[in-house]
Amino acid sequence: MSEAPPNPLRDPGDRRLPRMAGPCALVMFGVTGDLSRKKLLPAVYDLANRGLLSPGFGLVGFARRDWAAEHFAGVVLEAVRQNARTPFREDVWQQLLEGIRFVPGDLDDDDAFEELARTLAELDQVQGTGGNHAFYLSLPPGAFDTALDQLVRHRLAGRERAGQNWSRVVIEKPFGHDLASAKALQSRVDAAFEAGSVFRIDHYLGKETVQNLLAFRFANQLFEPIWNRTFLDHVQITMAEDIGIEGRAGYYDGIGQARDVIQNHLLQLLALTAMEEPISFSAASLRAEKLKVLSAARPAADLATGSARGQYLAGWSGGRKVAGYLAEPGIPSDSRTETYAALRVDVDNRRWAGVPFYLRAAKRMPRRVTEVALVLRPAPYLPFAADDIRSLGSNALVMRIQPDEGITLRFGAKLPATGMEVRDVTMDFAYGTSFAESSPEAYERLILDVLLGDPPLFPGHEEVEESWRILDPVLDFWEGLDEPPQGYSAGSWGPSDGDAVLARDGRAWRRP
Amino acid sequence: MIITLTGTTAGGIEQAILRARSNVGVPTGLVFTMIAVAEACDHDEVVAACVDAGREHPSRILVVSTADPHGESRLDAEIRLGEEVPGDLIALRLHGELAHHADSVLLALLLPDSPVVVWWPGTAPDDPGADPVGALALRRITDAMGTPEPIPALLARAGSYSPGDTDLTWTRLTRWRGLLAAATDAYPSPVTAAEVRGEPGNAAALLLAAWLDCRLGAPVALVDDGDGIGITGVVLHTEAGDLRLERSDGSMAKFSAPGLSRRIVALPRRDLNALITEELRRLEEDAAYSATMARLALRSSSAPDPGSEEAR
């Protein structure tokens, strides 16, 4: 591809021309799952509707279902009608429909993979997908290996295809359950594929607001000067969910909140918040900076006070009576899986020494919210009478990631009265009121990036391994404890142990 | 909230907005000011398109129209806050001599320190950049295809281009251009000649031909297709064979290439709201449009009647 002369119709100055995926086929494993129905299939339609897919695009479903292609098309159609972000258009659907195929079979069924190979060859011929194939493995961890092996065995993907048309593999979290298993997974992936053709999806990185964090930090002069230990007291990264495990007992039990979201989403947010300025937004530069800061991060030395875990009990959550974790269907009554995890992480470098990062992630919180809050030090001197500043808290800069995306700045202002009394006020930027309501779904952006072969928003395996290195001691420590996780009422902000992680340092969690 | 003011001033409008804000607490995340210069007849359609655009890009929208030019000077305004748009929409009606001094009202109502966009949905001034209202703006959007004589209007735009201008005729081409660029990505054989087909007198086909001419440096013919709607097809003759993108019904296109049978691809004509929304996504000068307009001016001066057989 690289030897081809530049396309005369492409002009770097022509900013309107869309980044459009070339001819290719997307093969989806695990296409009957929730994620496919709710996010992936609708995202594919939205891409087509925005005119970002080539006319030579094919979509192949692979699953253990005795379906004909028409039946699968019906499943896709239903998913699109229910969950697509853009309006349904018959002409766009007809375009997609021409390239839709289905291959029934088990992952260990060689015949099914031969059939998949034939289907792809047929698509290349008829639909003009040009031998370019992306394999999206939306599979439980136990099925990864088989799928990888089969793709290589049937020469659908892997190193042997180097130099031909592209073939890419997309893998979903979890990337292992600790450092050792992550390394083992990586060595198997590495044996089968070129590093450049493996895409690890962390859908958080596809979110507009997470990318906006980069714009916020590196496009502005205003904030960088305070982005360090001189001005900041500490950082709080919160990811609260209002839901429980919602029928995902089989996946969730034994995994828990720390492995499920801290290892990936929260530590990626930490990396983007704490990293130095990358020399460019290329994948290599971005990964280099994230990796550097993750390598400098470590959990608290005393994990008994620097970490906390909890498990939700029955309670009232947002006006509904809900069951406790142990009473959820499919959860063993003696389960010690945590649904609340909080920990202190320190970053050992000049910018952050002495500025702890407090991470918490939990289910059955009062509301769904993800945010990064930078809490500033108190002003060095306050020429006010103590009574006048009783209502003045710490200044804070909060990046709200979801659902109400935006930025809040909290500072003190004078109360309108004759005296000089100061109170906290907030200044608010809401992403949604200044920009498109119809911003693309994270998966839309990420799928397009896979088809374009554009990796900056995908974490590299070194980052995954560093994240496990940070988390492993905490997980081991919890494993070794005699007592079970502390209970907290569903619909509350978590157990007292979680509050104690900050209280010990003379701080307190923000109420997001 | 809708506030109607008759016989007011720019200052009166400002005050009314501030008072309403403190009552309803509308957020102020507005990113730019958009001025739409409407003629009385298409006032409602213009407001609808502005509301749509305002949803994607919350902004202050000023819809300007004039009434009884010989009557007494008077300013009437209707302010809508938080009705259908996240920003404000202010419809201004200029009576009498004031119609010639719209900029005096507008200047006071522009949001501070943020871009200004002017849109003329119908007939636009001959030189938008030199127009008093146009001069307030960073971006000036015209629509040759919204005027009675699209091709002369487009050529006039090409003659008076100044940085920041765009015409919606260009916006209508984006999907065509995207698909053609994707086609030459996938089939990189050098293009030796090209052909654009369209219904007679179609300004978009004329502009698409100018763009291809500008980018390819190969002869580009414009062919009348009496039965079609809008642009009906583009053929790129390459050394390896023809790349064809054809659309007969204004909605579904067929794409074929050497070794590839026809694929269908959705290529709908887009409505005004979609065009304006795309236009507002970029507020900087459009270099590709500028180069294409320069080429259009060149082509029209060498071919006396663009769209005719001689243009081949």
Coil, helix or strand at residue A179: helix
| Residue B156 sits in the same domain as residue B188 | no
Nearest to A98 among B55, B181, B263 (CB): B263
B35 domain residue, yes or no: yes
Q: Of B117, B132, B167, which closes a domain?
A: B167
More confident residue, B312 or A5: A5
Choice among A277-281, A329-333, A437-441, B7-11 with the minimum mean pLDDT: A437-441
Burial of A141 (0-12, 13-18, 19+ CB in 10 A): middle
Q: Which residues in chain A touch residue B27, judged by CB atoms under 8 angstroms apart?
A: 428, 430, 433
- Phi and psi at A22, nearest 5°, equal -75, 180
Q: CATH number for A206-503: choose from 3.40.50.150, 1.10.10.60, 3.20.20.70, 3.30.360.10.
A: 3.30.360.10
Determine whether the interchain pair B181/A428 forms a contact, defined as Cβ–Cβ distance below 8 Å: no
**The pLDDT of residue A392:** 84
Closest CA to A108 of A70, A140, A64: A64
- Strands B32-37 and B116-119, by their bridges, are parallel
Q: What is the mean pLDDT of residues A483-512?
A: 93
Q: Give start-end residues of each CATH 3.40.50.720 domain in chain A.
A: 24-172
pTM, to two decimals = 0.85
| Residue B258 sits in the same domain as residue B133 | no
B26 domain residue, yes or no: yes
| Residue B131 sits in the same domain as residue B14 | yes
Q: What is the mean pLDDT of residues A429-433?
A: 74
Burial of B159 (0-12, 13-18, 19+ CB in 10 A): middle
B306 domain residue, yes or no: no
Nearest to B56 among A20, A51, A438 (CB): A438
Q: Of B137, B167, B197, which closes a domain?
A: B167
Mutate to test the interface with B, among A2, A3, A9 (most CBs of B within 10 A): A9
Determine whether the interchain pair A51/B178 forms a contact, defined as Cβ–Cβ distance below 8 Å: yes
What total number of domains does chain B contain? 2
B298 domain residue, yes or no: no
B290 domain residue, yes or no: no
Active-site annotation holds for A133: no
What residue in A sits closest to B279 (Cα-Cα)? A16
Q: pLDDT tens digit string along A441-450?
A: 889 999 999 9
| Residue B192 sits in the same domain as residue B126 | no
Closest CA to A191 of A215, A167, A157: A157
pLDDT at A269 over 50: yes
Determine whether the interchain pair B184/A54 forms a contact, defined as Cβ–Cβ distance below 8 Å: no
Q: pLDDT tens digit string along B36-66?
A: 998 766 777 788 878 877 777 778 889 998 8
What residue in B sits closest to A429 (Cα-Cα)? B29
The fraction of chain A above a pLDDT of 70, given in percent, is 96
| Residue B186 sits in the same domain as residue B150 | no
**The pLDDT of residue B273:** 79
Q: pLDDT tens digit string along A76-110?
A: 999 999 999 888 999 999 999 999 999 999 999 99
List all residues of chain A from 425 to 484 with a beta carbon under 8 Å from chain B. 428-430, 432-438
| Residue B185 sits in the same domain as residue B119 | no
**The pLDDT of residue B312:** 38
Nearest to A95 among B29, B215, B264 (CB): B264
Q: pLDDT tens digit string along A123-167?
A: 988 888 888 999 999 888 788 888 888 988 888 887 666 556 888
**The pLDDT of residue B24:** 57
Q: Which residues in chain A touch residue B216, judged by CB atoms under 8 angstroms apart?
A: 8-9
Q: pLDDT tens digit string along A169-183?
A: 998 888 889 999 999
Q: Give start-end residues of each CATH 3.30.360.10 domain in chain A.
A: 206-503
Residue B195 sits in which domain range? 174-266
pLDDT range class, residue A72, cuts 50, 70, 90: very high
Closest CA to A157 of A25, A322, A355, A310: A25
| Residue B182 sits in the same domain as residue B146 | no
**The pLDDT of residue A240:** 94
Q: Please spell the DSSP secondary structure of chain B, one letter per residue.
A: -EEEESS--HHHHHHHHHHHHHHH-------EEEEEE--GGGHHHHHHHHHHHHHHS-EEEEEEEEE-TTS--EEEEEEEESSSSSSEEEEEEEEGGGGGGHHHHHHHHSPTTS-EEEE-SS---SSGGGSTTGGG-SEEEE-GGGSSSHHHHHHHHHHT--TTEEEHHHHTTHHHHHHHHHHHHHS-SPEEEEEEEESTT-HHHHHHHHHHHHHH-S-EEEEE-TT-SSEEEEEEEETTEEEEEE-SSSSEEEEEETTEEEEEEE-PPPPHHHHHHHHTT--S--HHHHHHHHHHHHHHHHSSSTTSGGG-
Q: Which of A133, A203, A234, A265 does the annotation list as catalytic?
A: A265
Q: Does B86 touch chain A (CB under 8 A)?
A: yes
List all residues of chain B from 7 to 66 with a beta carbon under 8 Å from chain A. 27, 29-31, 55-58
| Residue B136 sits in the same domain as residue B34 | yes
B281 domain residue, yes or no: no
| Residue B106 sits in the same domain as residue B44 | yes
Displacement of CA B222 from its chain's centroid (Å): 22
**The pLDDT of residue B270:** 85
* Mean pLDDT (10-residue bins), chain B, 312 residues: 85 80 60 84 77 77 87 89 76 89 87 87 88 91 91 93 93 93 89 94 94 94 88 94 89 87 85 84 87 93 54 39
| Residue B55 sits in the same domain as residue B119 | yes
**The pLDDT of residue B49:** 77
| Residue B152 sits in the same domain as residue B246 | no
Q: CATH number for A24-172: choose from 3.30.70.980, 3.40.50.720, 3.30.450.20, 3.40.50.450.
A: 3.40.50.720
Q: Does B263 touch chain A (CB under 8 A)?
A: yes
Q: Of B167, B201, B227, which closes a domain?
A: B167
Coil, helix or strand at residue A307: strand
Q: Does B182 touch chain A (CB under 8 A)?
A: yes
pLDDT range class, residue A436, cuts 50, 70, 90: low
| Residue B87 sits in the same domain as residue B220 | no
